[in-house]
Chain A
């Protein structure tokens, strides 16, 4: 036992040396902040069609459409982040603006008509769409963030992803609450 204890002690010392500086991480994050982090993480598990025009260090453009706490937190969270070597560029725009050169969009749009318009345009432009609430995916969004048992979860509509020509990593799919496909939507 003493041997084992000494090993554990040693491991603890080593762990302290490695991670002891980052004490502030202990503070609990707000729901918006968690959602913002999720948005950022989604970008890492999605692949886009190869853009021959874009360089390796060209800015990675993310749109934030609409208002709200999550939108704000996301904008704030994504600032000064990178995807690989590409710097993230966050733009807050109106719903009817051009989606050219955009990779992903966080959409907050209560108006269903307008939302459909945005999602269709995004699918056509090959933009990953992320929204909030179960209905976001049922209306054509790719990933929907939601809260369940005080935990942030997400749904993925693979059909929507397919129509937007983005590929969602299987690792991400393994974590989803519900995976919708085109057949699900057509049944509806």
Chain B
């Protein structure tokens, strides 16, 4: 409110200064005028006084009565300021004179003087007439003390008037300034309040005034109204914006959902492709294997072995492409379980040994003593990485050999790592290609593809899998000398390291000692035939149905020790049938072992199968060994169920 006081004070000051100056000027002018007129009046007064005194002394002069004349002149002393007076005869001779005693300095002129006004005194001379004749002259001298006295009086009066006027002016100004200041203060208050509270519904009062302040108030109110309008429009904009954001968000959510659905579709397509390709491959490989076990001429066996190895290669390529697609789609996931790394490496080496032998190069491997026997990881992915690296090394080595080393690697931030190195004596990789060797579809040069074949995806898949597992991969190579590929992957130790798994080969051998009644539900004739042949070869009894429904019917009519069931079947699929079987078993308390065949090799599929009540599964295409291994692993359960089935029979 400092500003308010200032406006009020300013108005007050303006009014006071203006009117005060006017009063002062008027007073001063009046004072000057009065001072001047006082002198004039004084001269006139003295003239009149001289005339009267002269008239009074005319007789005294006529009769030469000096005493009487002096008395008349002395009467002039009654008038303040008159210091001297004199009468002169007609001929100018001094007749009588009067002098105020206290003023001795005043000298009486000897002769009649002419009227003179001096600075501090006024002298008049008047002719005394008796009738028409000049009887003599009268002289009066007066000082200006009377004027000064009156001037001082006037000054005091003016001062008093000024003080009084200023006081009245002050009171008036105090009231009058409100005419200006009150609406301005009200306006300022309103503006302040609007700024503080942001309440744009407020309005300043005083628009009814016709003057400029009224116009100002009107303008300010207009501005506030505009601000109110803007604010409400802004609010409207905000609401609109919010609505738009909501709409966009829901659009985005919709788009994301559609994308997810599309992605889902893609995943499903990949899974189906996997299934559709693997199913015929199973037939080719299985049948080729069977034919090779029969009596053949040397020529026939040679051709069939080419078919078998081609099918193997094709399967590897298909697996590579599918894996790569899944990685590109971000669909590849790890399925960590407890496994034995050393056993896994041994298995891979057995697998790769024929290829090395074929090229007449060496393939050796060493496993460090400090490498833990069992650890947590995804054995399938480990296998893929090592197979890819070793396969790659064999492929590009013409002479010499391949050495695989597995040892404990450096400790990194994630913990201990396993370091695998694959060294070859192959063609090597030029330095400028070493950095891009892990990129997709990249081989050292285009001629390499023609010369050595392959998809060029092997290293890329190994690299991506390594990264997925939190590890790193790199290469050191000298062209025409050889390359060393390094992989370092963090791992976690298994809590129960000691527990060893029975080797698959051992199970396979142990599987066939007791013939089983097997129900085979498989709609694909080739696969059904392959499975039947394999089972019958080891002495099992096989009943074949083509749908889940028919499997249920067969189960109702006969006794079975084991069910092999394809997941994808018309009418009723394997999982559905399994669920129904498990439902029925709730009353009997029995549990018939079920093994599922599937082309769905993905981790989430396995979880789905187990949840449905499946005891084991085989991924198509499967080898005879794999089939026997699964049956062997279920042997204790099968035996238990057979025993359970016989007991009530004997009891009955």
A4-B107, A19-B92 as given contacts; A14 in contact with B113, CB under 8 Å: yes
B552 in the interface (beta carbon within 8 A) = no
Number of interface residues of B (CB under 8 A): 26
Q: A12, A25, A45: which contacts B59 (Cβ < 8 A)?
A: A45
Residues of A contacting B305 with CB < 8 Å? none
Decide: B91 and A11 in contact? CB cutoff 8 A.
no
Residues of B contacting A84 with CB < 8 Å? 131-132
A172-B59, A174-B59, A175-B63 as given contacts; A15 in contact with B112, CB under 8 Å: yes
Decide: B63 and A14 in contact? CB cutoff 8 A.
no
A44 in the interface (beta carbon within 8 A) = yes
Query: Can you list 13 contacts pairing A with B, beta carbon distance less than 8 Å?
Result: A14-B111, A15-B111, A19-B91, A19-B93, A34-B64, A38-B63, A41-B62, A44-B62, A171-B58, A171-B59, A171-B60, A174-B60, A175-B68
A25-B91, A44-B131 as given contacts; A169 in contact with B109, CB under 8 Å: no
B247 in the interface (beta carbon within 8 A) = no
Question: Once bound together, how far apart are the Cα atoms of A172 and B59, in whole Å?
Answer: 6
Decide: A18 and B112 in contact? CB cutoff 8 A.
yes
Question: Once bound together, how far apart are the Cα atoms of A83 and B89, in whole Å?
Answer: 20
Flag A130-166 by CB within 8 Å of B: 1 or 0 each: 0000000000000000000000101000000000000
Flag B82-95 by CB within 8 Å of A: 1 or 0 each: 00000001111100
Question: Once bound together, how far apart are the Cα atoms of A15 and B109, in whole Å?
Answer: 10
Question: Once bound together, how far apart are the Cα atoms of A72 and B172, in whole Å?
Answer: 87
Question: Once bound together, how far apart are the Cα atoms of A25 and B92, in whole Å?
Answer: 10
Residues of B contacting A16 with CB < 8 Å? 111
Flag B313-354 by CB within 8 Å of A: 1 or 0 each: 000000000000000000000000000000000000000000
Decide: A25 and B93 in contact? CB cutoff 8 A.
yes
A113 in the interface (beta carbon within 8 A) = no
With both beta carbons as reference points, the residue of chain B lying nearest to A151 in the complex is identified as: B64
Q: A7, A22, A45, A83: which contacts B91 (Cβ < 8 A)?
A: A22
Residues of B contacting A25 with CB < 8 Å? 89, 91, 93
B288 in the interface (beta carbon within 8 A) = no
Question: Once bound together, how far apart are the Cα atoms of A15 and B125, in whole Å?
Answer: 11
Residues of A contacting B60 with CB < 8 Å? 171, 174-175
Question: Once bound together, how far apart are the Cα atoms of A8 and B60, in whole Å?
Answer: 27
Question: Once bound together, how far apart are the Cα atoms of A83 and B131, in whole Å?
Answer: 8
Q: A18, A83, A174: which contacts B68 (Cβ < 8 A)?
A: A174
Decide: B92 and A15 in contact? CB cutoff 8 A.
yes
B130 in the interface (beta carbon within 8 A) = yes
Question: Once bound together, how far apart are the Cα atoms of A14 and B109, in whole Å?
Answer: 11
* Nearest Cβ on chain B to A26's Cβ, whole angstroms: 8
Residues of A contacting B91 with CB < 8 Å? 19, 22, 25
B110 in the interface (beta carbon within 8 A) = yes
With both beta carbons as reference points, the residue of chain A lying nearest to B112 in the complex is identified as: A15
Question: Once bound together, how far apart are the Cα atoms of A154 and B89, in whole Å?
Answer: 21
Residues of B contacting A12 with CB < 8 Å? 109-111
B242 in the interface (beta carbon within 8 A) = no
Decide: B109 and A8 in contact? CB cutoff 8 A.
yes
Flag A1-43 by CB within 8 Å of B: 1 or 0 each: 0001001101110111011001001000000001000100100
| Given A19-B111, A44-B131: 17 more A-B contacts, CB < 8 Å | A4-B107, A7-B116, A11-B111, A12-B110, A14-B113, A14-B114, A15-B92, A15-B110, A19-B91, A22-B90, A25-B89, A25-B93, A84-B131, A152-B63, A171-B60, A175-B59, A175-B65
Interface residues of B in 36-56 (CB under 8 A from A): 56
* Nearest Cβ on chain A to B137's Cβ, whole angstroms: 9
Interface residues of B in 57-82 (CB under 8 A from A): 58-60, 62-65, 68
Q: A11, A85, A171: which contacts B114 (Cβ < 8 A)?
A: A11
Residues of A contacting B63 with CB < 8 Å? 38, 41, 152, 154, 175
Decide: B59 and A15 in contact? CB cutoff 8 A.
no
Residues of B contacting A34 with CB < 8 Å? 64
Residues of A contacting B92 with CB < 8 Å? 15, 18-19, 22
Residues of B contacting A174 with CB < 8 Å? 59-60, 68
* Nearest Cβ on chain B to A27's Cβ, whole angstroms: 12
Question: Once bound together, how far apart are the Cα atoms of A86 and B111, in whole Å?
Answer: 33
Flag A61-88 by CB within 8 Å of B: 1 or 0 each: 0000000000000000000000111000
Decide: A44 and B132 in contact? CB cutoff 8 A.
no
Question: Once bound together, how far apart are the Cα atoms of A152 and B89, in whole Å?
Answer: 18
Residues of A contacting B111 with CB < 8 Å? 11-12, 14-16, 19
Residues of A contacting B58 with CB < 8 Å? 171
